[in-house]
Amino acid sequence: MRLVTVCGLLVWGLLPSACSPEIPAITGTLSEETFHSQLVEDDYLLRIRLPPSYDADPTRRYPLIVQLDPTFVGLHEFEITAGLVSAYAQEGRWPEAIVVGPDYPDPFKRERDYPLPKPLTPSFDGKNVDLFYRVLRDEILPHIEGKLRVDATQRVLIGHSAGATVVWYSTFRHTPDAPPLFSGAIAADNGIEEQIFTLERWHAERTRTLPMRLFTTRAAYNGVVQEIPYRALVDRIRQRNYQGLTFREETLETDHGGAVRPSFEHGLDFIFGAKP
């Protein structure tokens, strides 16, 4: 198997990160397409990886992995996820999957989509991630699932740093009359804002169910300032004892950029591979 070495940047604090481990080569078919969102009146660049077996069986449907921040600041998040899926599917440990990375012609447009709106309202009708969630739910996912053979019961959302804020937001948008938008989610090493606790509380007031597999990480080198709210959120989720939730968290002995690869690898293994 051909391997490449990738070095990332530490976005949080803008300091250099250690080199991430080698990334397995991506198998299957890679493509890009421009997708216009009516909701934000702007274009997204969808990066798509199809499994090698996609054309062989026209009846087969595949899990869908949505990778946020696919190319932001050279962290190679789409390549990491697509490479890991390629390698582990070849080994038979994980199922083959379609990987889609909603990207931007201007990568800093994420600053429009990822932040929590201020003020946060229980109607979820604001801008920022309120609107981006609707873009995912009402535009991008229907578009992808209308043209590709996706198993909509096996959607996974992955986000690191600000992208993980989107993951937390998406997790707590679940309501009793509908399943969560994603059946699996990986929230990798972000700063836990007070608003995330508010979202969780609103969720608990609506329902005591959360039928999904949820994996979260933090980088130990970030220090105690990040650890305190992270640990508080982890403890709160465990204390809720949500019906249907399978939850795991992990502290990684690395920095912010170094958390990308192990967070994605361990999280996808938690969702697709090793079961508790």
Nearest partner of 184 among 122, 243, 246, 132, judged by Cα: 246
Residue 3: its pLDDT value, please? 37
The predicted-structure confidence for 26-80, as pLDDT tens digits, reads as follows 999 999 999 999 999 999 999 999 999 999 999 999 999 999 999 998 899 999 9
Q: What is the pLDDT of residue 151?
A: 98
pLDDT at 21: 57
CB atoms < 10 A from the CB of 173, how many? 20
pLDDT at position 174 is 87
Residue 6 has what pLDDT?
38
**Per residue in 238-275, pLDDT tens?**
999 999 999 999 999 999 999 999 999 999 999 998 65
Inform me whether the pLDDT recorded for 182 exceeds 60. yes
The pLDDT of residue 176: 84
Examine the pLDDT at 20 and tell me if it is beyond 60. Answer: no
| pLDDT score for 276 | 46
Over 60: is that where the pLDDT of 97 sits? yes
pLDDT digits (tens, 9 = 90+) for 129-158: 999 999 999 999 999 999 999 999 999 999
pLDDT tens by residue, 196-228? 999 999 999 999 999 999 999 999 999 999 999
Look up the pTM and report it.
0.92
250 Cβ neighbours under 8 A, 6+ residues apart? 215, 216, 217, 263, 266
Angle at which helix 194-206 crosses helix 162-171, to 10 degrees, equals: 20
Q: Are 233 and 193 in contact (CB under 8 A)?
A: no
Q: How far apart are CA 127 and CA 89, in angstroms?
A: 38
| Per-residue confidence (pLDDT) for residue 9, from 0 to 100 | 38
Give the confidence band of 12 by pLDDT, cuts at 50, 70, 90: very low
Residue 2: per-residue pLDDT: 33
Separation CA 219–CA 214 (nearest Å): 17
Residue 108 — pLDDT band, cuts 50, 70, 90? confident
